[in-house]
Amino acid sequence: MRLSPLALCVLACLSSPVWAGTPDDHQRIEALEAQVQALTAELQAMKAQQATPAVAAAPVAAMPAQGAEAEADALAADASDVAAVAPDAGSDQNAVAAVAAPSGDAGGGSGPNAFNPAISIILNGSYSHHSLDPAAFARTGFPLVGEGAPSPNGFSLGESEVSFAANIDDKFYGQLTATVESEDGEDHLGIEEAYISSTVLPDGLSLRLGRFYSNIGYLNSHHAHTDNFFDRPLPYQAFLGNQYGDDGVQLRWVAPTSLYFEIGGEAFRGQNYPSGGAQNGGLGTKTLFAHVGGDAGTDNEWLVGVSALKTRTEGGEDGFSGDDTLAIFDGTWKWAPQGNFKDGGITLRTEYMVDKRDGSYIDPNDPSFTALWNGSRRGAYLEGVYRFNRTWDAGYRYDKLWGDDDLPFASFDPYRHSAELTWRNSEFSLFRLQLSHEKPNPDDADNAVTVQYQTALGAHGAHAF
């Protein structure tokens, strides 16, 4: 306010004939006028700032805080919080739904993960070297089926996936997971899962329709990127072609008790191994499963289960036709200080499978050779993983298969030792080194080294126990 009269006085003096005599004087006057105009502009800016309402700055200050909160929520829902999640095999769906559902809060539109549906991308690559040629690899008594073959030598994209998940409305949740994998130098795009699930059935009931992984055993319902090792155990490779998923329906009930208890059943088309050809009018495979688990104090958690898969096969990948029944027994125990597995702990897990067959065998490479196939094969694995801290963990796994002398092949009991060391930069990226020694037949041994990298992009819900 004081500058305006002063500026007028200066201008009045400068504009008088006394000061307008020489060219130098004109230049000095112009310079002074420029300074006065600058001072006037600064004064007006100060007045405008003082007149601005205080609430006008509030949204600018609030937006970063809301974004940080959204990020914190996303991190809290990450897979590293497994120990904090109830031993609910369906919690993967529920957690993803929580991420996918519109929050409705003020920060929903500012976070980078605030998409509907939620989008998650898993990138998985590896480098492997086997002492035996993977293309000529063979396990005596256990033909390679599905995706149960060893990884190829050299660099490989592996299996990467893109998932979309969201609450459809007030009664349904949906998820689609597409996979991209490289095999024999060619890229393949497939649909891994595409299903809808109910969210409002009463008394702990839930219904799932579409294509999904069966809830039998422990590992089968888990996506491979959650495994503690680069590859699936031998029983999964031999009896399920790595993992059983198909088109079907699942009904599941979780008891409303403090002790976790679930029971359920599924009916599948029966198109994929160990089934084949969608027998019984497109209802070729049926399953039953039950799991019980809970806490033991503040540091220990446990989960045990029993499952059965029964299918009718016609011309399966391994040459079998007939009735196949697979029984699975699984158990998991976790220990972590105060239950906080993110900062360290031990996980022990085992599964035991019995594969009983009653039918016939036709050699896929020589159809003239046929034989009866009545008997049982077995398989099991035991793995332990010690997590030093948030960054490092190390583990060991022993897996084995038991053949049957009554099978149409020479009987042998393949086995494998595997050790892994994993480094995590965060919950969203890891590098893993795995060494393994396998005896697939009486004459050969395969020593393999694998370096794996894996990253998670986008919103990704917590995984089941």
* pLDDT band at residue 282 using 50, 70 and 90 as cut-offs: confident
- Distances in whole angstroms, Cα of residue 234 to Cα of each of 239, 352, 415: 8, 11, 8
> Does the pLDDT at position 43 exceed 80?
no
- In this structure, of 369-373, 379-383, 438-442, the range with the lowest mean pLDDT score is 369-373
Compute the mean pLDDT over every residue in the chain, rounded to the nearest whole number: 81
**Sequence-distant (≥ 6) Cβ neighbours of residue 443 within 8 angstroms:** none
CA angle, residues 92, 94, 100, in degrees to nearest 5: 100
pLDDT of amino acid 69: 39
pLDDT of amino acid 37: 73
Give SS3 for 196.
strand
- Which residues are registered as beta bridge partners of 359? 322, 373
DSSP 54-102: GGGGHHHHHHHHHHHHHHHHHHHTSGGGGGGS-S-TTHHHHHHHHHHS-
Note the maximum CA span of the chain: 125
* pLDDT band at residue 117 using 50, 70 and 90 as cut-offs: confident
381, part of any domain: yes
Q: For residue 299, how many C-alpha atoms fall within 13 Å in the half-sphere facing its CB?
A: 6
Report the Cα 216 to chain-centroid distance in Å.
Answer: 18
Number of domains in the chain: 1
Check residues 41 and 192 and name the one with the higher pLDDT.
Answer: 192
326, part of any domain: yes
Q: What is the mean pLDDT of the segment spanning 97-123?
A: 60
> Does the pLDDT at position 54 exceed 50?
no
105, part of any domain: no
> Does the pLDDT at position 116 exceed 90?
no
* pLDDT band at residue 50 using 50, 70 and 90 as cut-offs: low
194-229 core/surface letters (b: 16 or more CB in 10 A; e: else): bbbbebeeeeeebebbbbbbbbbbbbbbbbbbebbb
pLDDT of amino acid 438: 97
CA distance 196 to 193: 10
Supply the pTM of this predicted model: 0.76
pLDDT digits (tens, 9 = 90+) for 145-183: 988 889 999 998 888 899 999 999 999 999 999 998 877
117, part of any domain: no
- In this structure, of 3-17, 40-54, 304-318, 426-440, the range with the lowest mean pLDDT score is 3-17
pLDDT of amino acid 59: 35
Which of 183, 179, 181 has the alpha carbon at shortest distance from 192? Answer: 179
Of all helices (H) and strands (E), which one includes residue 39? helix 23-51
* pLDDT band at residue 56 using 50, 70 and 90 as cut-offs: very low
CA distance 161 to 216: 22
pLDDT of amino acid 298: 92
Output phi, psi for 101, to 5 deg. -70, 140
Q: What is the mean pLDDT of the segment spanning 180-198?
A: 86
Give SS3 for 48.
helix
106, part of any domain: no
- In this structure, of 101-115, 171-185, 235-249, 377-391, the range with the lowest mean pLDDT score is 101-115
- In this structure, of 79-88, 330-339, 402-411, the range with the lowest mean pLDDT score is 79-88
CA distance 160 to 162: 7
Both structure tokens of 199: 């969210």
Check residues 306 and 107 and name the one with the higher pLDDT.
Answer: 306
Cβ contact 308:355 at 8 Å: no
Query: How many residues does this entry show for the chain?
Result: 465
Q: What is the mean pLDDT of the segment spanning 68-85?
A: 39
Give SS3 for 454.
strand
pLDDT of amino acid 178: 95
156, part of any domain: no
pLDDT of amino acid 404: 80
- In this structure, of 77-91, 255-269, 378-392, the range with the lowest mean pLDDT score is 77-91
pLDDT digits (tens, 9 = 90+) for 321-367: 999 999 999 999 999 998 888 889 999 999 999 999 999 999 888 88
> Does the pLDDT at position 89 exceed 50?
no
Q: Domain residues for 229?
A: 201-446
Cβ contact 309:285 at 8 Å: yes
pLDDT digits (tens, 9 = 90+) for 343-354: 899 999 999 999
139, part of any domain: no
Give the domain CATH number at 422: 2.40.160.10
pLDDT of amino acid 113: 52
> Does the pLDDT at position 210 exceed 60?
yes
Antiparallel, parallel or unpaired: β 392-402 and 260-268: unpaired
168, part of any domain: no
Helix-helix angle 23-51:3-14, to 10 degrees: 160
> Does the pLDDT at position 60 exceed 70?
no
